[in-house]
């Protein structure tokens, strides 16, 4: 009988630590919205790590006849340190961000733990238990209740964010939350140090803890509401650009169709003229006539044939704008093995090309040769990735760190517009944006690449114009 009681005792102690490991992963993946590689394995691993620490504590507690069931500071630091390492390895982002986000996530979870523990300890501290065993059982059950309440609170935050804010929470925002929680929690005294408090003091402390939780929920609510408003404005702008691009594209397509039909109608006459020139041996005039026919055929074609109507419309629109500014925009390749929504396609492609056009029209590049002053857009497919790349000349190189632009306002004038929108849209498909810059005699060659992971049994061929 004593063995069964001890087993139950161990189980009740282990379970909260088991849940704590799950909560750490859930906070990063569900609330902060950072992509976790091998998500199920990470959930299980951190849960088992937490359970292992709990089992160690329970064994020590049983061997000491239940005199200590609270994890010590050293063990706590070790547990949280292991959680940070596991999360840092599993988060799919830049290496420095892995470490920062993992540390901040565990720190936020620790603060939330303290808030719920203070709330729970008021209940335990306000009762005089008859025996130590009853008190220990109440403490253990209360610990379980605290963990489940924490999960319910984090799940509420996850649902709140899932409505209109699925993007990873920026490091600066996460750091702000962690600092504010630490400050707010440290402002109030630790009520566990003194068992005797007047009811008004306890009520004030409970209210204070609840206010912190409400503050945290309100913080996320305001962010979600603000992002929803900004997204609606951005969506309206994108829809307007899409409509304009598609209108221009369909007009160009109709014009191209009419020109091709007219050339088809004149083909017999053109053939007769060529035969006559051939018979007379006027090869130079025949060459000039063929060149003129070729120019007419080229002008009758639309700018791109990517296999995606929206992409073709955007490219046609940007090509027209670039040509009006004296810049050539060349595109090649097909869009394959990935389906990108019209809105996201506009976010990615339109912003990439707008940035390229903006940089290429710098006054310092006005004397640049026409064959160099051009923008190259490529769609490439490999066995595991699909890539959209845009290269263009620029006069001043932006400061690039770890594949990202971190320039001042003046430098961002050339390449800063829409970078965040490109990154957000790419992230929705598991992709990422990288940029690089190479020095050239005229200045620099800027390259932006958006890479998407794909799964395909057969690599597709690239066709270019």
Instruction: Please state, in angstroms and rounded to a whole number, the distance separating the CA atoms of residues 155 and 212.
Output: 17
Most confident of 58-62, 158-162, 244-248, 304-308: 158-162
pLDDT tier for residue 389 given thresholds of 50, 70 and 90 = very high
Over residues 345-374, the pLDDT tens digits come to 888 888 899 889 988 888 888 888 887 889
pLDDT tier for residue 201 given thresholds of 50, 70 and 90 = low
Residue 433: helix, strand or coil by DSSP? strand
Instruction: Please state, in angstroms and rounded to a whole number, the distance separating the CA atoms of residues 115 and 182.
Output: 10
159 has which bridge partners? none
100 in Cβ contact with 171 (< 8 Å)? yes
pLDDT over threshold 50, residue 123: yes
Give pLDDT, residue 387: 93
pLDDT over threshold 50, residue 463: no
- Proportion of the chain in helix, strand, coil states, percent, rounded to 5: 65, 10, 25
CA 319 to chain centre: 29
Q: Report DSSP letters for 386-432, one per residue.
A: EEEEEEEEESSPPPEETTEE---HHHHHHH-TTHHHHHHHHHTTT-E
Residue 194: helix, strand or coil by DSSP? coil
What number is the average pLDDT over the span 300-324? 77
Most confident of 51-55, 117-121, 267-271, 392-396: 392-396
Element (H, E) at 243: helix 199-280
% residues pLDDT > 70 (the chain): 66
255 has which bridge partners? none
Q: Report DSSP letters for 159-191, one per residue.
A: HHHHTT--SPPPHHHHHHHHHHHHHHHHHS--G
Instruction: Please state, in angstroms and rounded to a whole number, the distance separating the CA atoms of residues 129 and 148.
Output: 24
Residue 134: helix, strand or coil by DSSP? helix
Phi, psi (deg, nearest 5) at residue 144? -65, -45
Tokens of 60: 């020590």
Query: What letters, b where the CB count within 10 A reaches 16 and e where it falls short, cover 107-116?
Result: bbbbbbbbbb
Give pLDDT, residue 118: 77
Give pLDDT, residue 375: 93
User: Given CA atoms 46, 52, 53, 54 in this order, what sign does their dihedral have?
Assistant: positive
How far, in Å, are 72, 77, 83 from residue 7 at the CA level?
22, 26, 26
pLDDT tier for residue 235 given thresholds of 50, 70 and 90 = low
Instruction: Please state, in angstroms and rounded to a whole number, the distance separating the CA atoms of residues 27 and 177.
Output: 13
Pick the range with the lowest mean pLDDT from 173-187, 280-294, 410-424.
Answer: 410-424
Tokens of 39: 């998500």
Pick the range with the lowest mean pLDDT from 55-59, 185-189, 460-464.
Answer: 460-464
Residue 380: helix, strand or coil by DSSP? strand
96 in Cβ contact with 402 (< 8 Å)? yes
What number is the average pLDDT over the span 388-404? 78
pLDDT tier for residue 197 given thresholds of 50, 70 and 90 = very low
Instruction: Please state, in angstroms and rounded to a whole number, the distance separating the CA atoms of residues 331 and 352.
Output: 13
Residue partners of 98: CB distance under 8 A and separation at least 6: 87, 88, 89, 91
What number is the average pLDDT over the span 175-190? 79
350 in Cβ contact with 241 (< 8 Å)? yes
> What is the average pLDDT value for the chain, to the nearest integer?
75
Tokens of 397: 């190189």
Give pLDDT, residue 245: 63
pLDDT tier for residue 134 given thresholds of 50, 70 and 90 = low
Over residues 86-116, the pLDDT tens digits come to 999 998 877 888 899 999 999 998 888 888 8
What number is the average pLDDT over the span 241-268? 60
pLDDT tier for residue 129 given thresholds of 50, 70 and 90 = low
Most confident of 36-40, 113-117, 191-195: 36-40
Instruction: Please state, in angstroms and rounded to a whole number, the distance separating the CA atoms of residues 22 and 271.
Output: 77
1 in Cβ contact with 46 (< 8 Å)? no
Give pLDDT, residue 251: 58
Give pLDDT, residue 267: 67
Give pLDDT, residue 262: 60
Domains annotated for the chain, with CATH where assigned, are: 2-197 (no CATH), 223-302 (no CATH), 304-465 (3.30.565.10)
Residue partners of 203: CB distance under 8 A and separation at least 6: none
In the Cβ-directed half-sphere of 2, how many Cα atoms lie within 13 Å? 2
Over residues 79-94, the pLDDT tens digits come to 888 889 999 999 887 7
Left if phi > 0, otherwise alpha if psi is -120 to 50, otherwise beta: which for 443?
Answer: left
Q: Report DSSP letters for 31-84, one per residue.
A: IS---BTTHHHHHHHHHHHHHHHHHHHHHHHHHTTTS--SPPHHHHHHHHHHHH
Strand order in the sheet with 385-394: 328-333, 374-381, 385-394, 443-453, 432-440
How far, in Å, are 9, 25, 122, 127, 138 from residue 130 at the CA level?
19, 39, 17, 9, 12
Give pLDDT, residue 63: 56
Give pLDDT, residue 400: 63
pLDDT tier for residue 452 given thresholds of 50, 70 and 90 = very high
């Amino acid at each position: 009988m004593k063995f069964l009681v001890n087993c139950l005792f161990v189980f009740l102690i282990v379970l909260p630590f088991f849940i704590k490991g799950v909560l750490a992963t859930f906070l990063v993946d569900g609330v902060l919205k950072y992509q976790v590689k091998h998500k199920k394995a990470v959930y299980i691993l951190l849960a088992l790590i937490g359970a292992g620490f709990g089992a160690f504590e329970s064994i020590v507690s049983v061997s000491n006849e239940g005199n200590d069931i609270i994890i010590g500071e050293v063990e706590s630091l070790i547990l949280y340190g292991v959680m940070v390492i596991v999360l840092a390895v599993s988060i799919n982002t830049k290496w420095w961000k892995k470490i920062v986000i993992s540390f901040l996530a565990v720190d936020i979870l620790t603060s939330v733990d303290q808030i719920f523990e203070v709330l729970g300890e008021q209940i335990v501290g306000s009762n005089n238990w008859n025996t130590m065993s009853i008190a220990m059982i109440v403490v253990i059950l209360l610990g379980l209740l605290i963990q489940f309440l924490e999960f319910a609170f984090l799940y509420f935050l996850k649902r709140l964010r899932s409505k209109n804010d699925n993007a990873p929470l920026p490091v600066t925002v996460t750091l702000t939350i962690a600092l504010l929680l630490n400050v707010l929690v440290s402002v109030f005294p630790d009520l566990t140090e003194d068992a005797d408090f007047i009811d008004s003091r306890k009520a004030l402390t409970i209210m204070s803890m609840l206010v912190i939780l409400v503050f945290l929920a309100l913080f996320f609510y305001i962010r979600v509401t603000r992002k929803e408003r900004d997204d609606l404005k951005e969506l309206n702008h994108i829809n307007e650009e899409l409509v304009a691009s598609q209108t221009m594209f369909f007009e160009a397509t109709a014009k191209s169709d009419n020109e091709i039909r007219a050339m088809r109608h004149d083909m017999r006459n053109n053939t007769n003229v060529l035969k006559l020139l051939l018979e007379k041996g006027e090869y130079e005039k025949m060459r000039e006539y063929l060149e003129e026919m070729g120019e007419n055929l080229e002008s009758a074609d639309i700018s791109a044939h990517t296999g995606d109507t929206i992409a073709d419309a955007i490219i046609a629109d940007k090509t027209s704008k670039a040509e009006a500014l004296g810049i050539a925009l060349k595109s090649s390749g097909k869009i394959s093995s990935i389906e990108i929504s019209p809105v996201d396609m506009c976010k990615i492609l339109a912003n990439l090309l707008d940035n390229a056009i903006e940089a290429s029209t710098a006054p310092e590049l006005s004397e640049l040769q026409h064959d160099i002053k051009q923008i190259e857009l490529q769609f490439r497919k490999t066995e595991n990735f699909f890539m959209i790349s845009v290269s263009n000349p620029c006069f001043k190189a932006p400061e690039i760190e770890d594949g990202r632009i971190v320039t001042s306002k003046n430098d961002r004038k050339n390449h800063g517009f829409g970078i965040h929108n490109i990154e957000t849209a790419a992230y929705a498909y598991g992709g990422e944006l990288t940029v690089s810059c190479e020095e050239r005699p005229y200045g620099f060659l800027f390259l932006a690449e958006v890479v998407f992971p794909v799964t395909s049994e057969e690599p597709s061929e690239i066709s270019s114009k």
